[in-house]
Amino acid sequence: MNEQAPSPISSAVKPGLIIGLVSIVITYVAYFINVAQLASPSFSISILVIIFGLIIFFGIDFRKESGGFLAFGQAFTFSYFTMLISGFVSILGNIILFQLVDPDLPNVLGEILFENEIKVMEGLGVGVDSIPSDQLKEMEKNSSFGFTLVGQLISFGVSFFYSAVLALILGAILKKRDKSLDF
């Protein structure tokens, strides 16, 4: 009986969908509890840590399904496609939230980000009065861009690169070679 190991790409579909849905649920819960959380760096870091942990969890399951051992290339491919699928699902949920559920949300979050930028600048000793008003208006406009439809699509495109970098790290964590094959 020749049992074939599961493909890393096909094995990434279910975890990618689950992680994407988890990301959407967390985002919507944060939205309903306190909109300002969506603009906080701690929220983004928390989501990243959760995604990282879930990919490791599902990656260990994939490694078990593959006979307990996993080459780096398979671990990388699994991690990369899991992140891309979850990112696609997540961006769909975000587009629904930012464009359909609450179309004013990009502006609200942009204002929050802009206020946070001003606080950071003041904390560093840069007076807002010393910044030209046209530059402040440009900063304010750019603060909400990431939450617009175009900004989200660009962010998803850029995530192909960042996902590859994170998949390298996850691949190194998930790989496990069969030492009994060493001579």
Helix (H, G, I), strand (E, B) or coil at 130: helix
3 is a domain residue? no
In terms of C-beta density within 10 A (0-12 exposed, 13-18 middle, 19 or more buried), how is residue 145 classed? Answer: middle
Is residue 96 in a domain?
yes
Q: Is residue 49 part of a domain?
A: yes
pLDDT digits (tens, 9 = 90+) for 4-59: 778 999 999 999 999 999 999 999 999 999 999 998 889 999 999 999 999 999 99
Specify the number of domains making up the chain. Answer: 1
In sequence order, what are the residues at sequence separation of 6 or more whose Cβ sits closer than 8 angstroms to the Cβ of residue 35?
105, 108, 109, 112
The structure tokens listed for 177 are 């070679």
Per the DSSP assignment, residues forming a β-bridge with 70 are: 176
Residue 2 inside a domain? The answer is no
Q: How far apart are CA 139 and CA 134, in angstroms?
A: 9
Residue 130 located in a structural domain? no
Residue 53 domain flag:
yes
> Considering the domain boundaries, does residue 89 fall inside one?
yes
Residue 134 located in a structural domain: no
Whole-structure pTM value: 0.86
Question: What tens digit of pLDDT does each residue of 99-141 get?
Answer: 999 999 998 998 888 888 888 877 777 777 777 778 878 887 7
Domain extent, residue 172, equals 8-102+150-176
